[in-house]
Amino acid sequence: MTETAAAEPFVLDNSYARLPGEFHARAMPTAVAAARLLRVNRPLAEQLGLDVQALESPAGVDILAGNRVPKGAEPLAMAYAGHQFGNFSPVLGDGRAVLLGEMTDRNGVRRDIQLKGAGPTPFSSRGDGRAALGPVIREYVVSEGMAALGIPTTRALAMVATGESVRRRRAEPGGVLTRVAASHVRVGTFEYFYRQGHNEAVRALADYVIERHYPHVADADNPYHALLEEVAAHTADLIAQWLLVGFIHGVMNTDNVSIAGETIDYGPCAFMDSYNPATVYSSIDHGGRYAYNRQPGIGQWNLARFAECLLPLLDEDQEKAVEQAQAVLERYVERFETTYHDGLAAKIGLEERREGDADLAYDLLKRMTEQGADFTLTFRHLSDLGRAADDRDDNVRALFDDPSGFDGWAVRWRERLADETRDDAERRAAMRAVNPAYIPRNHRIQQAIDAAEAGDYQPLDDLLTVVANPYDDHPELAEYARPPKPEEVVERTFCGT
């Protein structure tokens, strides 16, 4: 038999491994009993310039399962700290994720390739270093859904079932997720060094982040100040975008906040069905610290923790440094409001901005809350309405417990539409492009997980089909746009760590 050299699935570099030793710990993935590839994300693989066939070959699956490390990999666990529900933990680190390395995608962007659930690392403490398949599927579906909604996020390249079971609330099948990120540097990574008084490491990390994510700030008068501005602006935009699609992260601890401005660490996250700003899904969020409407404020709190770490770099005079940081935190609020209000205006079909537009949108949200209206469908169906009321209004009215709650608002809305210059067809197309028909609904994710655990992958495939193209109609899968029936509602999501 002749051996043909199969294409190497990955060729990696690892710039993070070249940072000083205290930034990470070497950590090899632990092999699994019986790896089975559940899914490769082909469009993402192509974006990364990967050979899909090689990735799906036995040699590729071995890498995705952690049974073999690819060429150029220097597997490591990153060190970080973090404020968890407000309390500081000085050492967290990757306890169940291994950074294999980085690769440059087709757009020339360096991206991390990480295995989540790859076995214990020096940061695992009492954890098993593994992930249950359910949360792996949840992260895959939700992160791909977020990407398709145009929201910055880490991506899911593949998922593998390990053939092993992990002990959680009950014994569950294990899985490994291959995660792709702009980087895995977190607010907590800065806190890890700052809280040790290790300002040179903070500087080295800031320099690394500037070079990798925000190279243009290197020329600013004070690059660290400019870095803080960038991270604040990206965080403000990100959280505004979450709100505009009804997303609740669930665990916005500082170790789960990406410095690159991506949504990261999908745990007990969820999209809202009926609109209620106080909504909390996470089973571990007892005080509602990370409720839907608290996310913008928490984003600022997390940025304040980041700003603290940079204080020694901002100005020798610490009073001046604090003033600078405070000004950035104030601008965060303005930035958030601008992005959020622009987004709301677009959702109700307004192109030109008038005073009172935000109030008009808030009035709708208030009525939706009072009348239990489904967030996603209200805006989607609103997109189809004309300038004059007709029977299409009933599609929106039906979402309100008391339909007259919508009628009063619709009168105000149509008065305002009269000031718009766009014609109805243009406006409706624009509204449909910002108001998705499909979100990764909680009950559908749960059904997809339950079915997959029983060996049926069709619901998962169907769910991924609609969430990957959320602005299109999928008549054959229209059921996936529907809110849960009372008996289908999922009240709590678990992080499953």
Interacting residue ranges for ligand AMP, rule: CB under 6 A: 92-96, 123-124, 127-130, 251, 255-256, 265, 267, 495, 497
Is residue 62 a contact residue for Mg ion (CB under 5 A)?
A: no
Which of 269/346 has CB closer to ligand AMP?
269
Residues 6+ apart with CB under 8 A from 72: 10, 11, 12, 13, 14, 101
| Partner from Mg ion, ligand AMP, none binding residue 273, C-beta < 5-8 Å depending on class | none
| Partner from ligand AMP, Mg ion, none binding residue 165, C-beta < 5-8 Å depending on class | none
Distances (CA, A) of 451 to 65, 94, 461, 462, 463: 22, 30, 11, 12, 12
| Partner from ligand AMP, Mg ion, none binding residue 251, C-beta < 5-8 Å depending on class | ligand AMP
Asked whether the beta carbons of 150 and 158 are under 8 A apart, the reply is no
DSSP annotation string for 290-338: T-GGGHHHHHHHHHHHHHHHHHHHH-SSHHHHHHHHHHHHHHHHHHHHH
Which of 174/459 has CB closer to ligand AMP?
174
Closest CB 188 distance from ligand AMP, rounded Å: 9
Which of 130/397 has CB closer to ligand AMP?
130
Nearest Cα to Cα of residue 208 among 221, 227, 192, 194: 227
Which of 256/493 has CB closer to Mg ion?
256
Which of 57/497 has CB closer to ligand AMP?
497
| Partner from ligand AMP, Mg ion, none binding residue 93, C-beta < 5-8 Å depending on class | ligand AMP
Q: How far is CA 287 from the centre of its chain?
A: 22
- CA 18, 22, 24, 27: dihedral to nearest 10 degrees? 110
Which of 192/271 has CB closer to ligand AMP?
192
- 116 bridge partner residues: 97, 177
| Tokens read off for 212 | 């990798």
Nearest Cα to Cα of residue 448 among 427, 471, 467, 434: 467
Closest CB 127 distance from ligand AMP, rounded Å: 2
Closest CB 336 distance from ligand AMP, rounded Å: 24
Which of 251/328 has CB closer to ligand AMP?
251
Q: Which stretch binds Mg ion (CB under 5 A): 104-112, 165-173, 258-266, 371-379?
A: 258-266
Closest CB 268 distance from Mg ion, rounded Å: 12
178-214 as b/e: b if 16+ CB within 10 A: bbbbbbbbbbbbbbbbbbeeeeebbebbbbbbbebbb
φ, ψ for residue 271, nearest 5 deg: -95, 140
Closest CB 100 distance from ligand AMP, rounded Å: 16
DSSP annotation string for 480-497: GGSPPPGGG----B----
Which residue is catalytic, options 237, 255, 285, 462? Answer: 255
Quote the DSSP letter at residue 71: B
| Partner from ligand AMP, Mg ion, none binding residue 374, C-beta < 5-8 Å depending on class | none
Closest CB 160 distance from Mg ion, rounded Å: 20
Distance CA 231, CA 160 (A): 33
Which of 49/86 has CB closer to ligand AMP?
86
Is residue 256 a contact residue for Mg ion (CB under 5 A)?
A: yes
Distance CA 457, CA 41 (A): 15
Distance CA 160, CA 84 (A): 29
Asked whether the beta carbons of 235 and 261 are under 8 A apart, the reply is yes
Q: Which amino acid belongs to residue 205?
A: L
| Partner from Mg ion, ligand AMP, none binding residue 175, C-beta < 5-8 Å depending on class | none
| Partner from Mg ion, ligand AMP, none binding residue 497, C-beta < 5-8 Å depending on class | ligand AMP
* Contact residue for Mg ion among 56, 112, 265, 273 (CB under 5 A): 265
Count Cβ atoms within 10 A of the Cβ of residue 301 and give its class: 0-12 exposed, 13-18 middle, 19 or more buried: middle
Closest CB 138 distance from Mg ion, rounded Å: 14
- Return the CA Rg of the chain: 23
Closest CB 121 distance from ligand AMP, rounded Å: 8
Which SS3 state, helix, strand or coil, does residue 457 take?
Answer: coil
Residue linked to tokens 């014994």: 171
255 catalytic per annotation: yes
Is residue 56 a contact residue for Mg ion (CB under 5 A)?
A: no
| Partner from Mg ion, ligand AMP, none binding residue 29, C-beta < 5-8 Å depending on class | none
φ, ψ for residue 407, nearest 5 deg: -55, -45
Q: So which residues are the catalytic ones?
A: 255
Task: List residues near Mg ion by CB under 5 A.
Answer: 256, 265
